[in-house]
Structure 1
Amino acid sequence: MKLKSWEGMLAFLFLLTLVANAMLAPEFLTLQNQINLFQLSIEKIIIALVMALVIINAEIDLSVSSVLGLAACVFGYLVHIGVAAPLAILAALAVGPVAGLINAVLIARVGIPSLVVTLAMLIGFRGVARILVKDQSMGDFPQWVTDLGQKGFLGPIPLSLWLFVIFAVGLGVLLHRTGFGRQVVVIGTNAEVARFSGLDVARVKTTLFLMASSMAALGGVLYAARLGSVRGDAGVGFELDIITMVLLGGVSIFGGKGSMAGVILSILIILNLRNGMALTNITGHIQTGVIGILLIVSVLGPNLWERLRRG
C-alpha cells in the first residue's frame, strides 16, 4: 500500500479516528466495545465486501437491503408457523440465489440497467417481506439461534465477525489474485471491449449478482439471530451505508477501479465514527447526516486526491 495512494490516506484517517475516539471516550478501547463496534453493523459490512466487486464491474445493486429484510422475514415467519429452525434458515438463505437470479436475468440477459432493476426489486422484495410479517414483530427463536447471533464463538468473538474476516480475505484474493477478479475489473473498465475480447460478460455479471444477493440473505439470517426478532422494515436504509463504505474505499462509481484493502479501511473508519459518536451521545439523525456527507466525499474524494497528488 503506497502512502500517497487513497488507501494510504484512509489508513491515516483511520488512525486519526482511533486516537480521537480513545481521547473522547475512555470505554472505546475495551474489548467488549470493539466487538460491539463490528457486531452492530455486521450485516452491512459483509454485504459491502461483495458490493465492492459489483461496483468495480460498473454495476450497482440497490436491492441488497431488501433481500436482507426478506430473508430475515422468511426465517421469522417460518419459525412463527412452526417450521424447524434449521429448515427455516435454509429457506431464508435460498432467498438470496432466487433474488440474485431475477436481478441477473433482467440485467445481464435482458439488458435493463442495474440501477433501474435493483431499485424496482428494492421495492418489490420489501413488499413481499411486509406481506409475510405485516406489522408484527416475530421472534421467539430457539436459544441456539440467538446464541449464534449474540454470543462468542470459539472465544469472545461472535460467529458473524469470524465470517467477516473469512469473507474479507477470500474476496480480496478473488479480486486481486484470480482470473475471475481480473475479468471483473476489465469488464468494469469497458464491457464492450471485454465482450469483443472473448470474455463472457453476462456470466461474470450473473455471478456477481448471485453473490451479492446470497450474501444479503446470509446477512438477513445473521440480523434475525442478532436481534432475536424480525419486522417488515428489517434492513431499511442499509444500502446507504453499504454503498458509502464501498465508494469511500476508493472504488470508482464508474467501475474498473478499486481495492479490497481500501474498502476494509473505509469500513473501519465508518464503524469507528459511528461508535465514537454513539459513545459521546450524538443522536442517530446526526450520525445519518455524517454518513450522507461521507457518501459525497466518497464520490469526490478519490479523484480530488489523485489530482492533488499528481499536482
Structure 2
Amino acid sequence: MSALARLRGWETMMVALLAAIVAFNSVGSPYFLSVGNIVNLFQLSIEKSIVALTMALVIIGGEIDLSVASIMGLSACVMAFTFHQGAPMPLAILIALGAGVLAGLNNAFWIARVGLPSLAVTLAGLIGYRGVARILLEDRAIGGFPDWFNTLGQQPLVGPLTAAIVIFVVLFAVFAIVLHGSAFGRFVYVVGSNVQAARYSGVRVGLVKGSLFVGSAFVASLAGILYAARLGSVRGDMAEGFELDIITAVLLGGVSIFGGKGNLVGVG
C-alpha cells in the first residue's frame, strides 16, 4: 500500500470517528449541531488550532518545536507588561510579536546554524521563555485592557465567527498553498524525508529549517495575543501545557512524527 493510500485511510478513519461522535452528541442534545454551539466548541481551542498549522510544517520538515506554548505565554506577558508601562495597546502588540520573532530566531540559530537537535533546543526554550514570562509578571494577573482588544477576542467579527476563527481560516488557506503549491513546500517535504539528499539536491536546508522555526514562533505569539484577548487577562503561566495538545492534534491529523509525510487537511 502506498504512503498516500495509508494517509487517506487514516484520514477516513478520523472522519468516521468524528462523524460517530457528532451523531452520538446530537442524539443526546438537540442543540449540539446549532451554529452557536459549534462556534463555541471551536473557539475553546482555536489558539491551539492556529499554532497546530505551523507545527504541522515543522514536523513535516523533520523537526519538533516544544517551545510554542511558552512563546504564547511570553508574548502575552510582554504585551501586558508593556501596556501597563504606559505604551499604547497597538505598540504593545507589535512589541509582543517582535518578542515572539526573537524567540524564533534564537531557536533557528541553534538548530539551523549550529546544528543542535530541535528537541533539545526547544525544550530549553520551553523552560527559558516561560521563565522570562514569570519574571515579567511574577504571580500577578494583569488585565484592564482596552475594550476594543477584549471585544476582538470575545465578540463575533464576521457573522458568528470571532477574529481568532477568521485568522485561523485565513492562515489555513495561506499555509495550505505554501505547503502544497509552492517550491518552499516541496523543500519542506524533501528536508523532512532525507536531509542529506536535500543538501545534495541544492536545497538550502538551514534556510528552510530556520524559516519554519521563525514562522512557528510568530504564529505562536499571535495566538498568545488572541488568547489574552479572549481571557481578558494575562498570567505568567498562561497556555502552560498547550504544546502537548498541539503536537497530538498534528499527529492525529496524519502528519508523521518522522517527517516528510502529512498535509494540512487532517490537521485543519
**In which range does the TM-score fall when normalised by the shorter chain?**
over 0.9
* Pair 1:8 & 2:12 matched: yes
| Alignment check: 8 A CA contact 1:52 1:246 kept | yes
* Pair 1:44 & 2:48 matched: yes
Looking at structure 1, the residues matched to 86 and 263 of structure 2 have their Cα atoms a distance apart, in angstroms, of 44
SS of match in other structure, 1:224? helix
**Among 158, 168, 185, the residue aligned to 1:181:** 185
* Pair 1:27 & 2:31 matched: yes
Looking at structure 1, the residues matched to 177 and 23 of structure 2 have their Cα atoms a distance apart, in angstroms, of 30
Q: Which amino acid aligns with 1:170?
A: V
**Among 181, 196, 201, the residue aligned to 2:200:** 196
| Alignment check: 8 A CA contact 2:105 2:214 kept | yes
**Among 71, 74, 81, the residue aligned to 2:78:** 74
The worse-fitting range, judged by mean Cα deviation, of 160-169 and 3-12 is 3-12
Cα RMSD of the aligned pairs, angstroms, is 1.3
Q: Which amino acid aligns with 2:165?
A: L
SS of match in other structure, 1:153? strand
Q: Aligned runs of 1:1-311 on 2, under 5 Å?
A: 5-264=9-268
CA displacement at 1:218 relative to structure 2: 0.1
Deviation string for 1:115-165 (max 9, x for gaps)?
Answer: 000000000000000000000000000000000000011322111101111
Question: What is the aligned length?
Answer: 264
The worse-fitting range, judged by mean Cα deviation, of 105-114 and 13-22 is 13-22
| Alignment check: 8 A CA contact 2:65 2:118 kept | yes
CA displacement at 1:81 relative to structure 2: 2.1
| Alignment check: 8 A CA contact 1:58 1:255 kept | yes
Q: Which amino acid aligns with 2:139?
A: D
CA displacement at 1:4 relative to structure 2: 5.5
CA 121–15 in structure 1, closer or farther in 2 if over 3 Å, else same: same
Looking at structure 1, the residues matched to 30 and 236 of structure 2 have their Cα atoms a distance apart, in angstroms, of 37
Deviation string for 1:273-301 (max 9, x for gaps)?
Answer: xxxxxxxxxxxxxxxxxxxxxxxxxxxxx
Q: Which amino acid aligns with 1:32?
A: G
CA displacement at 1:262 relative to structure 2: 1.4
Residue number in structure 2 paired with 1:300:
none
Residue number in structure 2 paired with 1:271:
none
| Alignment check: 8 A CA contact 2:158 2:166 kept | no
Give the alignment's TM-score, normalised by structure 2.
Answer: 0.96
- The structure 1 segments of at least 4 consecutive aligned residues displaced by more than 3 Å after TM superposition are 1-4
SS of match in other structure, 1:233? coil
| Alignment check: 8 A CA contact 2:74 2:100 kept | no
| Alignment check: 8 A CA contact 1:80 1:139 kept | no
SS of match in other structure, 1:164? helix
Gaps of 5+ in 1: 265-311
Q: Which amino acid aligns with 1:185?
A: Y
Give the alignment's TM-score, normalised by structure 1.
Answer: 0.83
Looking at structure 1, the residues matched to 8 and 104 of structure 2 have their Cα atoms a distance apart, in angstroms, of 38
Q: Which amino acid aligns with 1:161?
A: I
Deviation string for 1:159-182 (max 9, x for gaps)?
Answer: 110111111111111111111111
CA 204–4 in structure 1, closer or farther in 2 if over 3 Å, else same: closer
